[in-house]
Chains A and B, each alone.
Chain A
Amino acid sequence: MHPEYQLNNTDHKLTLLRREHNRAWLAVNDEPIELTLEWINKHDGHIELQGQRHRFSIAQNDKQLFVHIFGATWNLAKRDGFSLAEDTGEHSGAISAPMPGVVVENYVTLGQPVEKDEPVLLIESMKLQTELQASDSGVISAVKCYDGESFEKGSILIEITPHDTGSSEEDQCAE
C-alpha cells in the first residue's frame, strides 16, 4: 500500500512500515519517520515527533484533508489513480470563471467578433463586480451562461474561436 497525498502541488508517497499501539513508523518519499498520535476528540489531538508534542486539528471532506499543525492550516488531497490523469487543460479561447459568482451582464452574443482584451462579461462575486475580457481576438463560438446565473470557480462561461494568426491568413489568401 503506497497512498499518495498532495500538499502544495507536490505529491508525497507514503509507506506504512509498522504500527504499535498509537505509534507508527512510516516512510514519506522513502525517508523514514516515527510518530505517536493521541486524540483528544474526533478532530483534535497531539502528535509526538522527536520527543516534542504538537497540537493538531483535522477535518476531512472526502479526499480532502484540512490539518492545522505547526501554526498554520494545510490542505492535503489524497491522490488516487484516477485523479492523476485528470488535467486535460482548457483550450485557449475559453473564458473561465476566476472565482465563484453570478453573471450580471453578458456583453456579447453568439457569432459576434471580439478583439483581445475587449470586455465580454460583467460578473459579480462577494458584492464586487468585475469585467472579464476576451482572451483572444476571434469570434464568440459559445455563450455558456445567462444573466443572473451563478457559477462555480473554473466554469467555462464563454468560448471564443480565435482568429488563427498563422494558417488562417494562408486560407484567406487562397480564397
Chain B
Amino acid sequence: MKKNTFKKVLIANRGEIAQRILQALKKSNTTSVALFHYADRHAPWVTQANEAIEIEGASPTAAHLDINQILTVCRNLDIDAVHPGYGFLSENAEFARRLSENGITFIGPDADIIELMGDKIRSREFVAEQGYAVPPSVTLNAGDNDCINAVAHMPYPLVVKASAGGGGKGMSIVHSPDELASTLRIAASEAEKYFGDSRIYVERYFASARHIEVQILGDGTNIVHLGERECSIQRRFQKIIEEAPSVAISTKRRSEICDIAVGIARAANYKSAGTIEFLYTPEGEFFFLEMNTRIQVEHPVTEMIYEFDLVRAQIDIAAGNALDTTQGSLEAKGHAIECRICAEDAFNGFLPETGKVLHIKTPDDIDLRWESGIYPHQTITTAFDPLLAKLVVHGETREQSIEKMKAALKQLAILGIETNINYLIAVLSHPDFENGDFDTGFLKKNADQFTPPALSDEHKHALVSLSFLADQSTQQLFEATPAPYGEMGNWKN
C-alpha cells in the first residue's frame, strides 16, 4: 500500500527541537519550512531548511505564539502540515482547530483530544473516571478569597499547579500554611500570564516519589507503548537527566504501568505520540500525573533503546497512515541516558546565565546523539528556556551508558557561557545515582555533595600558563617582540 505523505511541512518551533524535526523531514524528502524570529536568523535550523520565513513579534516567544501570523504563513506558502514540537503552540487546541479549519494538518492529536488530555484538571477527572489512580487534590480559582480554606483539610507539603501548566512551569511546593498566601498569589499571576487561565489545583505533594512516564503511540484505533522513561532527576520541577528503562521497576511493574498508560490512551482514542506521566511512590503506587499530547524533550532515550523514530511516526500518522507497528514487534535493547545542557550556574541555585557562545566542541570519538540548536556567535538571552542542547548516549547496560555519558560530558566544550555540564558530571558520579537510589528530591537533598571539579596545582598552573600563552594580547605582544622572543615563530597556524 502506498504511504500518504506531506509535500511541505512547517516547523513551528525553534532551537534543538526545530533541528530534530528538520532532520526527520530531510530523511523523508519532505520540503521543510522554518519559522523564525529575527533573533534566530543565523540558526542552523533556519539556514538548513528548504525555505525559511521570518515572523514578527516583540520577542521570539511572542512571535512563535502568534496563531494568526502563523496561519497567514501557512496559507501563503501552501503548507500541508505543521509540526509544533514541544512548548509554544504544541498543546494549543485552538491552534490545532484553526489549522484544520484551513485544511492544514496539525501534526499531533486532534483539538478535542488536546482539550481533554492537555487540561490538567479535565484529564485527571477523565483518568479517574476510567478507574485509574490520581493523587488527592482540590481544584480552585486562584483569585477566590476562600481558596485558603478550601485546602485547610489537606496535609502538608502541598503542590500548587496551574491547570494549563506543564513542563514544570506554574508549579510550586508549599511546606506550611504561612507560605500558602504568597504561593497562591504567584501561581495566579503565572497561570494568568502564561496560560491565560487562572485555574489552579492544589494536590498532596509526594516528596520522595519518582517520576516515571510512558511513551505512547496511537493512530486513533491502535495504541502501542514504547516503555517507560525515568525522569526523577529534576531541579525546580524541570528534568535534567532522563533515562530508559527505569532502574526502579521490575518487569512486572513495567507491564502494569505500560498497560495503565495504554488503557488511558485507548479510552481517549489517542492519535499521535504522547506521554503519560506518573508518580511512583515508595509504597509502590502509580498515580496519574498528566498527559503530554506532544513530543517530549526526552524522546531520544526511547528512540535509542527501541531504534524507533518517534518524530517520523508522528508525521506518518498525521498524514493518515495507520500505525504499522505492533506491540509484539517493539523490543527495547540496552539503556539510554539524556542530559540537558542548560545555560545556568548549577552550583549556585541554577541561576540562568546569559552570554555569547564563542566555540562548541562536541566529543568526536564517542558514539552519541548531540541534539542542539545552538551555533557559534549566538547570544543567549533570558528570552527563552535555558536549554541549549541535549546529549544522548546508549549502552548495553545502565553502568555502561553512565560511563559513556560522563566521558562525553568531560569532552564537551561550550565556551563563552556558563553551563551545567560539570554539575551533570557530579550528579552522574554520585553513588546513589549509580545505584539507582533516587527520587524527585534527589538534587535538593544532596545539593551540598555536588561540587565543581578540582584541579591539582600542576594542572592549575598549566591552565593559567595556557591561558596566558593563548591570550590574544600575549599573541600580539609576541608578534611585535623582536628576537630573542621572535624565534618562537607563529603560534597559530
A interface vs B, CB < 8 Å?
1, 3, 5, 7-8, 12, 14, 16, 19-22, 24, 26, 28-29, 31, 33, 35, 37, 39, 42-44, 47, 49-50, 54-61, 65-76, 78, 98-102, 104-105, 119, 122, 125-129, 131, 150, 152-153
Contact = CB atoms under 8 A, between A and B. Distances in A.
Contact of B487 (A20, A42, A100, A127): A20
Given A22-B488, A126-B385, A68 B462 contact: no
B413 interface: yes
Given A37-B466, A67-B466, A73-B413, A60 B461 contact: no
Given A3-B468, A122-B186, A76 B488 contact: no
B485 A99 contact: no
B327 interface: no
B493 A39 contact: yes
Interface in B456-487: 457-474, 477-478, 485, 487
A37 B470 contact: yes
A77 B140 CA distance: 51
Interface in B417-433: 418-419, 421-422, 425
Interface stretch (B222-230, B259-267, B354-362): B354-362
6 contacts: A19-B485, A22-B489, A37-B470, A67-B467, A100-B354, A101-B382
Contacts of B411: 55, 71
A39 B470 CA distance: 10
B236 A33 contact: no
B216 to A, nearest CB: 27
Nearest to A55: B411
Given A26-B465, A28-B465, 6 more contacts: A12-B460, A47-B466, A71-B410, A75-B418, A126-B344, A126-B382
A42 B492 contact: yes
B354 to A, nearest CB: 5
A93 B353 CA distance: 25
B491 A22 contact: yes
Q: Tell me the dominant secondary structure on chain A's binding face.
A: strand
A128 B350 CA distance: 12
A72 B415 contact: no
Contacts of B452: 8, 72
B382 A28 contact: no
A57 to B, nearest CB: 4
Contacts of A66: 358-359, 415-416
Interface centre among B189, B236, B421, B464 (most CB of A within 10 A): B464
B87 to A, nearest CB: 10
Contacts of A98: 349, 351
B212 interface: no
B60 interface: no
Contacts of A74: 455, 463
Contact of A129 (B190, B359, B382): B190
B169 A127 contact: yes
Contacts of A71: 410-411, 425, 453
B194 interface: yes
A5 to B, nearest CB: 5
A71 B361 CA distance: 12
A3 B472 CA distance: 13
Interface centre among A7, A55, A101, A129 (most CB of B within 10 A): A129
A76 B415 contact: no
Contacts of B421: 72-73
B441 interface: no
Given A31-B461, A66-B358, A131-B182, A59 B416 contact: yes
Contacts of A75: 418
Interface in B77-107: none
A161 B471 CA distance: 44
A61 B410 contact: no
A77 to B, nearest CB: 10
A152 B349 CA distance: 17
